[in-house]
Copies of this chain bind each other. A is one copy, B any other.
């Protein structure tokens, strides 16, 4: 059963979802800033109008810039779906203990993913582990939502 009170500050699960979602949005925006910093360090600009000197040319293949862009795209593929699944999962009225720890798992794993991918490169399986923790937690929530919708 769903009750409007599920979407409320009095619901600790919703509150936890809100907090982690907003933190992960800020984390995603940090990727834009890191990309920008690398663009200026390596003078790698993708648009003619971004070149700050007539001597520069557009460039698309700097490995530092591309690494952060890959990490950012991975965020788009994984964090954005979490936003909707986490909200709908909250509306299935899950166990607070389980739900809160799933949100924490996604939040911490995705921050770890960024750190080992785009800040300090850590050998595998660090990134794979962070990736799969967040993925499996989100898949579990999605399955619960499908079940709640079906029955």
Q: Is the CB of A21 within 8 A of B77?
A: no
Q: Is the CB of A142 within 8 A of B25?
A: yes
A109 at the B interface (CB under 8 A)? no
Query: Cβ of A15: which chain B residues have Cβ within 8 Å of it?
Result: 149
Q: Is the CB of B124 within 8 A of A29?
A: no
Q: Is the CB of A7 within 8 A of B84?
A: no
Q: How far is the CA of A29 from the CA of B70 in the complex (A)?
A: 16
A145 at the B interface (CB under 8 A)? yes
Query: Cβ of A80: which chain B residues have Cβ within 8 Å of it?
Result: 76, 80-81
Please state the number of chain copies in the assembly. 3
* Cβ < 8 Å to B, chain A residues 1-52: 1-5, 7-10, 15-16, 18-19, 21-23, 25-26, 28-29, 31-32, 46-50
The number of residues on chain A lying at the interface, defined by a beta carbon within 8 Å of a beta carbon of chain B, is 57
Q: Is the CB of A22 within 8 A of B77?
A: no
Q: Is the CB of A84 within 8 A of B25?
A: yes
List 28 contacting pairs A-B, 8 Å CB cutoff, sorted by A: A2-B7, A2-B8, A4-B4, A7-B91, A15-B149, A16-B149, A18-B91, A18-B145, A18-B149, A19-B145, A19-B146, A21-B85, A21-B88, A21-B145, A22-B142, A22-B143, A23-B142, A26-B143, A26-B146, A29-B81, A32-B135, A47-B117, A49-B121, A49-B123, A76-B80, A81-B83, A83-B83, A84-B87
